[in-house]
Structure 1
Amino acid sequence: MAAPILGIETSCDETAAAIYCGERGLLAHVLHSQVRLHAEYGGVVPELASRDHVSRINGLIRAALGEAGVSPADLGGVAYTAGPGLIGALMVGASVAAGLASALGVPLIPVHHMEAHLLAPMLEDPPPRFPFLALLVSGGHTMLVDVRGYGVYALLGESLDDAVGEAFDKTAKLLGLPYPGGPELAKLAESGRDGVFRFPRPMTDRPGLEFSFSGLKTAVLTALPPDADAQTRADLARAFEEAVTDTLVIKVERALQAAKLDRLVVAGGVGANRRLRAKLAERARHLGVALHFPRQAFCTDNAAMVAYAGWVRRHGGQAAGGALFTTPRWPLDTLTPPRAAA
C-alpha cells in the first residue's frame, strides 16, 4: 500500500492541512480561515496573513495526523502549495513542509495552487474523466483550461483585468458590504429584482474566450445613486451577478464547442456561487454535458486538494528532489505531466 501524503496550504488567508492516500482516499482535512483577522482592513494584509500561518500551521498538522490516525513516520511525502500566491504566506508552508520532509526522509512535493483547484473535483464520487474543460474562477484567477490529463493543460482564455472574484469583492465594497464581499454580494442579490438594472455582458459580442470584468464595477458605480436604499443596492447586486454569471456561461459554452468536449469541471471559490451553479447546470443539461463541482468546502482554498495533487505528482512518477521552491506567479500551462499515470 502506498504511504499517505500530507498536504499543506498557506497561499493566502487560509491555513490548512490534509492527509490523502490513494487506496483509502481523503483521510483528514482541517482548516483555519483568517476572515475575521482581515475583516477590519477590508482585504488581506499579507504580513498579518504570514504571521497567522506561523502561529497555526503546526497545530493544524497535528490535528490532521490525529484525525487520520497516521503518525509522521507513516507519511510517504509532504506536499505544499508552492505558488501562485502571497510570497510570505507561501514561504511559511514551504518552510514547514521542507523541515518535515527532511526530518522524515521523505520527498518534498511542490504543488501548483491552480492545478490543485483544477483537481479538487477528483475527490468526489464519481470523479470526472479526462478530457474535460475546466472553468477556474477565484479571487485571483478566471481561466478556461482544456484538460487532457494530469499536467496536460492548454489555456483557452483568461481575464484581461480583474478576476471574477476580485470583481465581486470590489463591487461589494461599492455597495457598502462587509469583507469578504463576494459571498455578501451574492446573498444581497437574492433579494434583488430582475430587470431593474441591466449591465453589459463584457466581450460576449465578439469572438474569443477572454474575459474582462473591470468595466462592470464602473457600470455599478455609475448606476449607484448617492442615497441608494437597501432595495436599490439589492437590485444592483442582482444585475451585477446576472451579468457576471451570464458572461461565464456564454464563454463556457463557446469553449466546450471549440475544444469539442462534453465534460465540464468548475473549481475555485466563485464556483460556490449558487446562481452560477444553477445556470451552468441548466446549460449543461441542454448541451448534454457532464458537469462536475467540488463540494462547497473544497471550492475555496484547502489542503485536501493540495494533498491529492501531491499524491498524483508523487505516485505518478514525478521525481521530488527536495529543493524548497516558491513563486508568487506560475503559469498553469508551463506544467508538465507526471511520467506515469497516477
Structure 2
Amino acid sequence: MIQAKGYAAQTPETDLAPWSFERREVGPHDIQIEIQYCGVCHSDLHQIKNDWFPGVFPMVPGHEIVGKIVKVGDHVKNFKVGDLAGIGCMVDSCQVCENCQEGLEQYCLEGNTQTYNNLDRSGVPTYGGYSNTIVAREEFVLHISDKLSLAATAPLLCAGITTYSPLRHWKVGKGHKLAVVGLGGLGHMAVKFGVAFGAEVTVLSTSASKEAAAKELGAHHFVVTTDKEQVKAVRNKFDFILDTVSAVHDIDMYQSMLRVNGVQIGVGVPPAKLEVAPFSLIGGRRSLAGSGIGGIQETQEMLDFCAEHNIVSDIELIDIKDITAAYERMLKGDVRYRFVIDIATLK
C-alpha cells in the first residue's frame, strides 16, 4: 500500500485535521499523481457535514485535483511519468452500460464511483484531493496543458465542467441571449464560457456590488434581481438561463425572463425542494432542466478548449491549515471566485 497524508473530517461534527491513510498500489491500468493543487468546492463542505446524505468517514474531500504523474501501470497507454494530469469528480464507472458507452460516465446506470465519500467497486472508501497523492484508473485521468496556470486550472475539474457541459449540450452560442444566475465559483466560469461561445451574457444577481466584477469577466449586462423594475425589463428576454445558485430561490421569477421555448438549467443544489407554478412553464412552452458534471471525453474537450482560449478560474491560493477559515469565508461569498489549496503546505 502507498502511504498518504491529507486532511480529513473524522465525523460530521469535527473540522478537517491532518490524517494519515493508505492508497492502493498502482495496478496495471492505474496512474499515481503527486497532487500539487486541489480546488475547494462548496460541495466539499456539504459532504463533510452530511448535508445531503450519510457520508463515509473519515472523509478526505477534494475533487478538483491537479499534479504530476509519478508512476504508471504496465498497461497504461496514454500517459507517462512527468506528465501534468488531473482528476475530477469521479474515478470509475461500470464502463459498459449505454450511458458509459456514450461518454456519459457521470450518469452511469450502475452509479459512478465518486472521487471521495464513496466506496469503490471493491468496497474500499475513496479519498479525495486534500492529500499529497492519489491513484486512479487511466480512463478517469485527464491531460492538463502546461500553457495554463496549474493552480487556476484545478477548479475547471468541477466548476468548469459543470458549466461547460450544459452550455455545450444545449448548443448555446452566437445569436443566443444567456443569463447566468449567481456570480460565484460556478457563475464566473459560466460567464467566461458563455462569452467564449459567442452568446450575449447577462448576470442576474441579488448583489448590485457585483456589477463591476461581472463586467470584468466579460458579461455584457447586469440585472439586480431585487429591483422589480430591472426584473420587469428583462421579461421574455433570454433563450437560456444557467442557474448556479445553491440557495432556495424563486424559480417562477426566472421563468418569466425566458422567451418562448426558453430553458432554465439548474446546476446548483439548494438544500430544499424548489417550487414552480405549472403556468410558468406552460405559458411559454418553457423548460426547467438540470445538469451535472460532464463525462471524461467532454471534460478533456473542455480542458483543451481552455488551453486554446486561455481560460482558467479566478482563484485565491490558500494554505491547507486555513481550510476551515476558507469554508467560513466561502459561506459568506467572500472569495473571488474559488479557493485552491497549495498541497505543498501539507506538512
Q: Which has the higher helix share?
A: 1
Q: Which has the higher strand share?
A: 2
TM-score band by shorter chain is: 0.3 to 0.5
Q: Which has the higher contact order (CA 8 A, sep 6+)?
A: 1
